[in-house]
Amino acid sequence: MTSVTAPPPPAPYLPQRGERYRLVAPNAPTAPKIVRDFVATVLWATGHPRLVDDARLCASEVVSNAYCHTDSPQVRVEVTVNRRQVTVYVTDDEPGRLPARTPGTETGADEGGRGLLLVEGLAARWGTTAYGARSPHSKTVWFTLSASGG
């Protein structure tokens, strides 16, 4: 299986301040579209139209990973918006490791494992957080997009 590993955040990760919007969706084939539309609506409504396309793509990739690689019955999505940035959190109930990127597969026949590379390329920061200490019960994959465009 082709996989990607998340780099550690540059500093201890803390939830961002700002307005918060939440959605719970079934972890089904329709989840990526539901979440894309939700994230786009939040960003349009909060004055971040320049971030809509990147946020839709990143959210779709993260939710697709939850659907393809977990048996979690649902995904929980939170979008935190402030003037400077937007952070999207996607949580599932299966804390297993993310697929790790295998070197040398960039041009191979395997089409999987490229979604988080897209997230890495578009996001100002991204990472994962596991919940439950020694016995994790869920994980969140999050990404932050900068409103400054830089």
Per-residue H/E/C for the chain: CCECCCCCCCCCCCCCCCEEEEEEEECCCCHHHHHHHHHHHHHHHCCCHHHHHHHHHHHHHHHHHHHHHCCCCEEEEEEEECCCEEEEEEEECCCCCCCECCCCCCCCCCCCCCHHHHHHHHCCEEEEEEECCCCCCEEEEEEEEECCCC
Output the pTM of the full model: 0.79
Phi, psi of 86 (to 5 degrees): -130, 130
pLDDT score at 15: 54
pLDDT digit of tens for each residue in the chain (150 aa)? 444 444 444 433 445 678 999 999 999 999 999 999 999 999 999 999 999 999 999 999 999 999 998 899 999 999 999 999 999 999 998 877 654 444 444 444 445 567 888 999 999 999 988 887 676 778 899 999 998 855
Task: Look at residue 149 in the predicted model and tell me its pLDDT.
Answer: 59
